[in-house]
Amino acid sequence: MKVELHLFANLAGYLPAGSAGDSVTLEVPDGTTVAEVIRFLEIPEDLECLRVVNGRDAPSEHRLADGDVLSLFPPLAGGSCTKIDDTLQIEPDIGDIAPMESAPEPGGAAP
């Protein structure tokens, strides 16, 4: 079966040789899991990534189907990400954000 694979940011370096851009179509056996594709790509087990199949969060044990689109994203920086009841909760780290000295006038530029 065929699966379209997209790897983003630093994960793109794990695409098979000869791949162009950030994606490739893989021919995989029926019943292949997301984890098996990650192992095939030799992405280190300790390198966390967000796994998305057809636009939805997917666990490693998710079995892929013909025509699925698997996207792998590196962790987001500057915050934490947790999964609660199949809902992704993202908490930004805003410690490095400073307030503006003053708000710009309408139609004007910031100071």
Q: pLDDT tens digits, residue range 32-74? A: 999 999 999 999 988 888 999 999 999 999 999 999 999 999 8
- Other CB atoms within a 10 A radius of the CB of residue 37 amount to 19
Q: Which domains does the chain have, with CATH numbers?
A: 2-92 (3.10.20.30)
Confidence of residue 20 (pLDDT cuts 50, 70, 90): confident
**Would the pLDDT of 97 be above 90?**
no
- Residue whose structure tokens are 């708000």: 103
Query: Given strand 69-73, what is the order of strands in its sheet?
Result: 23-27, 2-7, 69-73, 50-53, 56-57
- Residue whose structure tokens are 């307030």: 99
* 25 within 8 A of 2, measured Cβ to Cβ: yes
